[in-house]
Structure 1
Amino acid sequence: MEMSLIVSSPPKFTIRRRDLLHNNKNLMIICSSASKSQIGFGHIIRCPNLPLSVTAHSKTAISTKASDRNTISNSKDGVKIYVGLPMDSVSDCNGIKHSRAIAAGLKALKLLGVEGVELPIWWGVAEKEAMGKYEWSGYLTLVEMIQKVGLKLHVSLCFHGSKEENIPLPKWVSEIGASQPDIFFTDHSGKHYEDCLSFSVDDLPVFDGKTTMQVYKGFVESFKNSFSPFMGSTITIDQLYSSAIRNSGAGEFQCYDQNMMRHLKQQAENLGNPLWGLSGPHDAPTYNQQPILNTFFKEAGSWETPYGDFFLSWYSSQLISHADRILSLAASTFSQTPIVVSGKLPLIHSWYKSRSHPAEVTAGFYNTINRDGYEEIAKIFSKNSCKMILPGMDLLDEQQPTESFSSPELLLADVRTACRNQGVEICGQNLNIAGTPKSLKQIEKNLAGGNGINLFLYQRMGGEFFSPKNFPLFSGFVRSLNQMELDSDDLAVNEREAAVYVPGKNRKLQTIGFGHIIRCPHLSLRVTAQSQSTIFTKASDRNTITNPKDGVKIYVGLPMDSVSDCNGINHSRAVAAGLKALKLLGVEGVELPIWWGVAEKEAMGKYEWSGYLTLVEMIQKVGLKLHVSLCFHGSKEENIPLPKWVSEIGESQPDIFFTDHSGQHYKDCLSFGVDDLPVFDGKTAMQVYEGFVESFKTSFSPFMGSTITGITIGMGPDDIRTACRNHGVEICGQNLNIGGTPKSFEQIKKNLAGGNGIDLFLYQRMGAEFFSPKNFPLFSGFVRSLNQLELDSDDLAVNEREAAVFVPGMMLNATAGDP
């Protein structure tokens, strides 16, 4: 297996939001994707007799007969394409997030003919608990999956955190930072950025006597040893730096930690100008300030004075020195291996057409109308025999806002000239997932002819990447790069053969990753099949469509894994969007599975409710009611085991589990035979369950009655309903299949109608299939018909823009056996 490594170090100096939002979510060492993509995959249809190919619609899906070929391969002379995996593919508990969705995506990429994938490996995940204590198990499992599919791999080692991906620095680093905050980048106001270590501590022994570079060295050595069986001929190391513009500004200088200030003072004194070392520029712009009017960067401003040249030269030298150290570290570590090291340079193109280039300068690149700032960077890459990865090859000047003075094309040309002068090889990368024909043509233009680029990293796998709009464009791009022609065997023979419809849009590869969301700032939200016929209500007229008092109350099940085994909310923004959509549609509430294996994971009687409490607060805030399912079993499909301590007892006493005739134990379920046996440190299963339920009751008491209204019981066939009626038992209803048809909804209404005495129905379960353009309109009509809601003229979309409601895609496997 060929592996390539991208090493990411703490980001650049400035915090710059425009580049994060519009072009540089993958900035130098911060492996933060332009799409924030995890994998949300919307819809997956399995084709057991065919290899997997993906297109926009099943009717036009492209397939290949298994008997004819196993894959579409790149020509030897073509550009090698690597697709980035989701940023959070491995959780901070070292589990694979959405492994089935990732596996399906890997197969689709292999069959399309891409060369491999790129995987971010986070310092905060792999060395989380203590310095020198490495945990690679999750990443190793994922690498084995990639190897099994037959793809190659680039690895990004990320020595920073990411608030967007909810990935902090290692716990022990953050603890040191709590008492020594100057280890972090710091701006003029004194704000510390706790996701990034300052370059000033590269060689300071702040970590129990070790310097930052020594700590990084240990991490890289451990990575090398652990992944040596997979290493082949290439590993790329990407040097990324953090940079984010706020609104229309250019960012701030990030040099105000005490260590950096001490170095500045010493440099100024060495030059005989001690006053220059007292602080950074007094007239430097703030984050949101227009940078070329009345600031350091204005025409004939301080940046062109001797002091300005001194400060900017010093500031830039900190970044260059750090780049040299980190690339040298990587190059020396892999010097005896067949590994090629690469570094990634950000494309800070805002304000490039101004004379002072404020966005680049605050990011640490002293590149102005008077000075070439990239020649020195290219020399560092050349010195360490590293390739350079250049993002932004999909960007066109014509797409940039005029007020930003931006020119990605000119900047890219300048950097490539510097690389050519220094003999540095270049790899390409895009910044925007949602490619257009124009942007993909721009990539082809940048890769064509004598440009000497033979490897391109396409960012990043997930729902948006696999959407019906974007994946066909990407597929055509891959074929065009490698001059591949389709023959008659590439055409789907019938709809069953063509049944490959890749998951919808979930800006982050997630379990809930709802498929398509169009935001309507002036409207409240209701969703139907297509934007042209989207139904909405004016916010000024009503906030929600409410159920009449006598109507059937509808509750919609939340995703089975809404709370992770580390007690975090999985895909909180997607869940929040779904809750709002349900509230505005008029459902009564939601149903939440609470898992024994999550809430009492570590030890008997040690309960951790924080994740579920946070989710209940979200539900309460939206104004929905809640039913809770307490699940005293595990689920292999959802990758949720029984509590760790129960499984440990089961290792020595396997008969606590259900067991079949062959002697196989089912370790997701305790046998009824131990209900009253004291097998858990003297306690019976029922006593353990009682403790769990009591703790739940106590912890959630503030929500009882007002938000939490009950526990649901599934409805059986008609003979059970007759028995319930005979004994005065009230019944609640539930469906089994998400993908409803008009007939199945009519059957539900028939079961709920008349004298059946059912006033509550649980609809299973929220996710991409539920929110798909096919199913959600059917569900919406079902809700309205149950509650006799009539639409008036205000419910009709005025135009397509107003009707922008496109709900996100999600990977979900709901079955009749769901708990």
Structure 2
Amino acid sequence: MQASVPLGNYVPIYVMLQLDIITTDNVLKDKTRLQMQLKQLQGAGVDGVMCDVWWGIVESKGPKEYDWSAYKTLFQLVQDCNLKMQVVMSFHQCGGNIGDDVNIPIPRWVRDVGVTDPDIFYTNRTGNRNIEYLTIGVDNQPLFSGRTAIELYSDYMKSFRENMGEFLDAELFTDIEVGLGPAGELRYPSYSQNQGWVFPGIGEFQCYDKYLKADFEEVATNVGHSEWGLPIDGGEYNDNPDTTSFFGSKGYLSEKGKFFLTWYSNKLIIHGDQILNEANKAFLGCKVKLACKISGIHWWYKDATHAAELTAGYYNLHDRDGYRPIARMLSRHYVAFNFTCLEMKNSKQDPAAKCGPQELVQQVFSAVKREEVVMAGENALEIYDREAYNQILLNVRPNGISKNGPPKLKMEALTFLRLGDELLEKKNFRIFKAFVRKLHADQVYMSLGI
């Protein structure tokens, strides 16, 4: 670090590991190659790496039959390379979202419950099930060998704590991100490629399983509107807002529409609140920070409806901040707000999709800071170019370097997607190393002159 730049400007970077299905044999087979890659990252000044800790792998054999052996092998390898780690408690399926390169479903014994009770999965209006993640409607239903979904997640985190004591004591893990939905994000699976969604479709509401439907009917009855049902005019995955009655005819602004959207978004916040409460119990006394990932749904952001955000559960409109209530919930649990799409610029998007990634990041940063929550970030897509790196630098320190101490606006960390052969190509890696130096603030912010 240059003496003229205070240490508080430093933003650590973690690189996401790109691994095949994690088994002890696979980790050992790729040990030499992985060691070499980790050494290259360390030589570039990278602070650590990130990996998903897949529920579908660890508890695959049966209820409470946890097998952590492959992860212990991996963690020891990372520790030997003197790198730190971010780990994700991944209760979702790998496969079906952008960037997924392998298929790792949730445990079969959990999916088997869905054979007789398919409503354990998120369901759209036409009855299609999404098996990426259990519906939040079963959070408190003892359907899984007597356990609720919340108890499944809680027991998993407790087992991680019990089995990873040596690494926790050694402070290998700096962050534990708690998965709260599809792709590990606190949202509904409103836009899934497995369901035929293609960018920039508005997505579909995912609340038509019998559990969420019954919940809505109960709360609607309690406020004197038993005749209200769930929306039937919200459109299909690849619709535009103006082709649906709910959005195009402003049904979302009606009394009934507002009531539904409030319920829909609040259920998501309650879901996060419950699981993060369990996470804090599981990791009480550990020297780690907890985090939660929120999706950067930037398409239709500049449309009055914000339709894609609304179907995902983010009730965000020009006169209603949909991210501040989430930040407020996270603040109660001292959990960091991890946001995506930091690399995106408006000028690179299709104008027809009314994207606003730059304004979205600014809005979220403002909401998070008002609630005094720590903010971190990720890139949404794989990137290797200067322009995208510069946009990240601008977002992690919007006001640039401060020479008088830590900047008032600064993200606490960046997770970079991802480690692979393309990143390590000579030209790409040279640009990446320059990016890491600037992220670490060894010189003032400026475009990458490479």
TM-score tier (shorter):
0.7 to 0.9
| 1:237 alignment counterpart | 177
Cα distance, 1:435 vs. partner?
A: 2.9
Distance of aligned partners of 1:249 and 1:195 in 2 relative to their CA distance in 1, 3 Å threshold = same
C-alpha deviation, 1:292, in angstroms = 2.3
The CA deviation at 1:316 is 0.7
Deviation at 1:427, TM superposition (A): 1.1
CA displacement at 1:351 relative to structure 2: 0.2
Once the 2 structures are TM-superposed, how far is the Cα of residue 287 of structure 1 from its aligned partner?
0.8
**Alpha-carbon distance between aligned partners in 1 of 2:6 and 2:424, rounded to the nearest angstrom:** 24
The structure number with the bigger radius of gyration is 1
Q: State whether structure 2 residue 351 is matched by structure 1 residue 364.
A: no
Distance 1:235 1:145, change over 3 A: same
Could you tell me which residue of structure 2 aligns to residue 133 of structure 1?
65
1:118·1:155 contact (CA, 8 Å) conserved in 2? yes
Change (3 A) 1:92 1:173: farther
1:85 aligned residue: 17
Aligned counterpart in structure 2 of residue 331 of structure 1, from 280, 305, 315: 280
Supply the RMSD in Å over aligned alpha carbons. Answer: 2.0
Using structure 1 for the length normalisation, give the TM-score. 0.48
Equivalent residue, structure 1, for 2:241: 291
Q: Which amino acid aligns with 1:346?
A: S
State the Cα distance separating 1:358 from its structure 2 match.
0.3
User: Do residues 342 (structure 1) and 294 (structure 2) align?
Assistant: no
2 CA distance for matches of 1:276 and 1:296?
Answer: 14
Q: How does 1:7-26 map to 2 (within 5 A)?
A: none
Counterpart among 41, 50, 53 of residue 118 in structure 1? 50
Give the 3-state SS of the residue equivalent to 1:155 in structure 2. Answer: strand
Equivalent-residue separation in structure 2 for 1:314 and 1:469 (angstroms): 50
Name the structure 1 match of 2:250: 301
Distance 1:411 1:118 in 2: 25
Q: What are the Cα deviations for residues 524-581 of structure 1, in whole angstroms up to 9, with x where unaligned?
A: xxxxxxxxxxxxxxxxxxxxxxxxxxxxxxxxxxxxxxxxxxxxxxxxxxxxxxxxxx
1:204 to 1:124, Cα distance in 2 relative to 1, 3 A: same
Q: 1:481 aligns with which of 428, 431, 439?
A: 439
- The 1:294/1:251 distance shift into structure 2, 3 A limit, reads closer
1:395 partner SS: coil
Correspondence 1:274 to 2:226: yes
Question: Using the alignment, how far apart are the partners of 2:319 and 2:25 within structure 1?
Answer: 50
Q: Note the C-alpha offset of 1:339.
A: 1.8
Q: For 1:181, which of 109, 118, 127 is the aligned residue? A: 118
2:16 and 2:359 map into 1 onto residues whose CA distance is 26
SS state of the match for residue 88, structure 2? Answer: strand
Residue 363 of structure 2 is matched in structure 1 by 414
- In structure 2, the CA distance between the partners of 1:444 and 1:248, relative to structure 1 (3 Å rule), is closer
- Percent identical pairs in the alignment equals 33
Q: Are the equivalent residues in 2 in contact too, given 1:350–1:406 (CA < 8 A)?
A: yes
In 1, Cα distance between equivalents of 2:338 and 2:380: 12
SS of the residue 1:185 aligns to:
strand
Q: Which amino acid aligns with 2:228?
A: W
Q: 1:93 to 1:173 in 2, by over 3 A?
A: farther
**C-alpha contact (below 8 Å) 1:75/1:482 kept by paired residues:** no
Runs of 4+ in 1 over 6 A off after TM superposition: none
Using the TM superposition, give the Cα deviation of residue 243 of structure 1 relative to its aligned residue in structure 2, in angstroms. 4.6
Q: 1:94 deviation in Å?
A: 7.2
Structure 1 residues 374, 337: closer, same or farther in 2, change over 3 A? Answer: same
Alignment of 1:47-196 (within 5 A): 76-77=7-8, 78-86=10-18, 88=20, 90-91=22-23, 95=27, 98-163=30-95, 164=100, 165-196=102-133
Report the Cα offset of residue 79 of structure 1.
1.4
Question: Would the aligned equivalents of 2:241 and 2:305 in 1 still touch at CA under 8 Å?
Answer: no
Aligned with 1:460 (options 412, 418, 441): 418
1:184-235 deviation line (CA, Å, top 9, x unaligned):
1111111111121000111110111110111111100000111111112733
CA gap 1:323/1:476 in 2 versus in 1, 3 angstroms: same
- Which amino acid is 2:13 matched to? I
Rounded to whole Å, the distance in 1 between the matches of 2:135 and 2:24 is: 23
* Structure 1 segment 759-778 matched on structure 2, within 5 A: none
Secondary structure (helix, strand or coil) at the match of 1:154 reads: strand
DSSP 3-state at the match of 1:265: helix
Deviations 1:77-101 (A, max 9, x none): 4211111111536149875563332
Counterparts of 1:243 and 1:86, CA distance in 2: 25
8 A contact 1:160–1:168 mirrored in 2: yes
Work out whether 1:224 is the aligned partner of 2:164.
no
Spell out, residue by residue over 1:155-212, the C-alpha distance to the aligned partner (whole angstroms, 9 max, x if none). Answer: 0110011224210111111111111111011111111111210001111101111101
Shift in Å, 1:237: 1.9
Structure 2: runs of 5 or more not aligned: 192-196, 401-406, 444-450
Distance across 2 between alignment mates of 1:385 and 1:328: 10
TM-score by length of structure 2 reads 0.87
Q: What is the 5 A alignment of 1:513-528? A: none
Q: 1:81 to 1:75 in 2, by over 3 A?
A: farther
1:464 partner letter: E
User: Where does 1:703-714 land on structure 2 (aligned, <5 Å)?
Assistant: none
Distance 1:152 1:75, change over 3 A: farther
Amino acid at match of 1:381: L
Give CA deviations for 1:677-723 in whole Å, capped at 9, x if unaligned. xxxxxxxxxxxxxxxxxxxxxxxxxxxxxxxxxxxxxxxxxxxxxxx
- The aligned amino acid for 2:143 is V
Listed as ranges, the gaps of 5+ residues in structure 1 are: 1-73, 486-819
| Paired AA for residue 115 in structure 2 | A
Matched letter for residue 179 of structure 1: T
Gap change, CA 1:291 and 1:119, over 3 Å in 2:
same
Specify the alignment match of 1:319 in structure 2.
268
The answer on whether the counterparts of 2:122 and 2:130 sit within 8 Å (CA) in structure 1 is: yes
Task: Report the Cα offset of residue 331 of structure 1.
Answer: 1.6
- Offset of residue 142 of structure 1: 0.3
Kindly state the Cα deviation for residue 75 of structure 1 after the two structures are TM-superposed. Answer: 9.2
C-alpha contact 1:87 1:120 (8 A) present in aligned 2:
no
